[in-house]
Amino acid sequence: MMQRWSRPVALTMLVTALTLSSEHVVFAYQSSDIASRADRALAYQRAGEPEKAVAAYAALDATTKAQHKALPASILANYARALAATGRLDEAAAEMKAATAADPRNATFEDDLGSIYARQQQWSDARLHFAAAIHQSPALATAHLHLGLALQAQGDAGALAEFARAAKLAPRNDVIAFEYGKALASAGQDAQAIGVLEAILAEQRDPADPLTVNTRYALALAFQRSGKMRDSIPLLRTVLAARPDDAPVMINLGMALSQTQQTAEALPFLQRAVVLAPGDVVAHQDLAAALVQLNQFTDAVVELKASLALAPDLAQLHYDLGFAYKMQDDAAHAIPELEAAERLDPKQAEAPYLLGVLYMQTAHYEDAARELRTSLALNAQNGDGWATLGSVYSKLGQLPEATEALEEAIKQSPQQADPRLTLAGVLMKQNRTAEAVEQRKQAAILMKQKMNRQRAEVATHSGESLLKSGDLAAAGVQFNDALGYDSSYVDAHLGLAKVYTLQGKKVEAELERRKADSVK
């Protein structure tokens, strides 16, 4: 399952979280001229013109140095922020160091210096200054946030605790909440992450705001990892509306639609993702999976070949291609792909199982038995696998082995008739007539039950249609017919309960609901 942030988005959010702020600075100038020129530089800075701000600060700095004086720490800090905004990070670090030297107890300056180092990915230096900021001001939420980001970048598990502290200190700071939610998700705590991210979106927010969009995307991914595919779909649609050329969003939306039986609708998104990101293996793979669901196997093969051109050593791709070939009844091409999948990932049971089935179908029974044994050694909980192995052993004349395999198949899938019928044939070859007769008898009972269940399903569907059209009497007949075929069919009981409710028969309706509960 494909879930990720694109690199530009992740970098943007990191930079956003590490943005240096000058809103809180209080100035204490030593002269009106310095104050006036510093105010002019700050005005440029706040107007989003950092280059002009840098020029003004540089001129001011040169003037004070010519007078053998130094700028106040607050002005040096703003100068550093303006330099950082223009990408001149080495110079920014030098000026912020000067600011911290001039005001060594200022936690904000330490935090800002750490942020500059973080943007340069000098994580050790960044951590040092973030920790210093926290030491000086333990309640500085942004310092905890920034330290969390630095720890996260280095794969340090302590990052989550820092995000949690920041969120506790600033519960209404959405940037902090967003990073905390992402960190919880990265730690596998999606249930908690969902709560944090939903709380951000619960407030009235501009839907086009980047933080809102990114929060929706993070929440959608958390829903997907939690198996709540349907909940992720509307969120992904809104994200895609804001970022119409974002291939990862399209891939995730396409996957969610495919996994909720909306594959035809998923197809255009996945096709567009492949066009936008032709080098993305997952894009081709997910498109191929959708095409397989739609029985478009020829097109699926094309996409899987494109994936393998990008990642030739990925076992799953070879398996998927082998499966697509098998669905085209092309064993000659399927077998080499499945053998490659097994060779590349010998711990997976699926490839040898499918190989065993293909070898059996092509009458290569020794090869089939070998592959099926390999698969079942990796995953013994496979009733169909044991049944197939039993059939192969029967073809090879290995009757005791066939009996053992088929008995295991029946143990794992007691409601399946076919293994019992195959076992009956094997027992007859061993002159165990009475046992064979009993297996055939049990198989006949199961086949009748299956047929009755199918009849109950048909009658129930008919009843539901009649109920929608308002024909209560005819619907009741159909639901009763269904229960005549299979008295344990829950949907028929519930359908009949609806009919009784609409007819005002409350007691009968409650009785049917209880029957449904008793057989669930």
Q: Where are the domains of the chain?
A: 1-169, 453-520
Measured from the Cβ of residue 339, the count of other Cβ atoms closer than 10 Å reads 16
Q: Provide the pLDDT for residue 481.
A: 95
Alpha-carbon gap, residue 258 to 254, rounded angstroms: 6
Between CA 282 and CA 292, with CA 288 as vertex, the angle to 5 degrees is 145
Q: What single DSSP character describes residue 349?
A: S
Instruction: Quote the tokens at residue 382.
Output: 């496979």
Alpha-carbon gap, residue 319 to 160, rounded angstroms: 37
Residues 80 and 99: beta-carbon distance below 8 Å? yes
Q: What digits encode the pLDDT tens for the residues 405-416?
A: 999 999 999 999
Instruction: Quote the tokens at residue 187.
Output: 């730690």
Q: Could you tell me if residue 227 is left (phi over 0), alpha (psi between -120 and 50 degrees) or otherwise beta?
A: left
Q: What digits encode the pLDDT tens for the residues 289-346?
A: 999 999 999 999 999 999 999 999 999 999 999 999 999 999 999 999 999 999 999 9
Q: Provide the pLDDT for residue 462.
A: 96
CA distances from 356 to 118, 319, 330 (A): 54, 13, 15
In this prediction, the residues of the chain whose per-residue pLDDT falls under 50 are: 1-17, 19-30
453-520 is a CATH 3.40.50.720 domain? no
Q: Which residues contact 6 (CB under 8 A, 6 or more apart)?
A: 246, 247, 248
| Phi, psi torsion values for 139, nearest 5 degrees | -95, 5
CA 39 to chain centroid: 49
Instruction: Quote the tokens at residue 506.
Output: 């409350």
Instruction: Quote the tokens at residue 279.
Output: 């080098």
Q: What sign results for the dihedral spanned by CA atoms 105, 108, 111, 113?
A: negative
Q: Provide the pLDDT for residue 31.
A: 57
Alpha-carbon gap, residue 178 to 134, rounded angstroms: 21
Q: What digits encode the pLDDT tens for the residues 35-82?
A: 889 999 999 999 999 999 999 999 999 999 998 888 999 999 999 999
Residues 235 and 217: beta-carbon distance below 8 Å? yes
pTM of the predicted structure, to 2 decimals: 0.75
Residues 107 and 25: beta-carbon distance below 8 Å? no
SS3 92: helix
Burial of 275 (0-12, 13-18, 19+ CB in 10 A): exposed
Residues 164 and 132: beta-carbon distance below 8 Å? no
Alpha-carbon gap, residue 382 to 402, rounded angstroms: 16
User: Do the domains at 1-169 and 453-520 have one common CATH topology?
Assistant: yes
Q: Provide the pLDDT for residue 203.
A: 86
Nearest to 183 by CA among 212, 209, 213, 144: 144
Q: Which residues contact 183 (CB under 8 A, 6 or more apart)?
A: 148, 152, 159, 160, 163
Q: What single DSSP character describes residue 212?
A: H
- CATH numeric code, 1-169: 1.25.40.10
Q: Which residue has the tokens 């081709």?
A: 284
Instruction: Quote the tokens at residue 230.
Output: 């349907």
Q: Provide the pLDDT for residue 123.
A: 95
| Phi, psi torsion values for 96, nearest 5 degrees | -70, -30
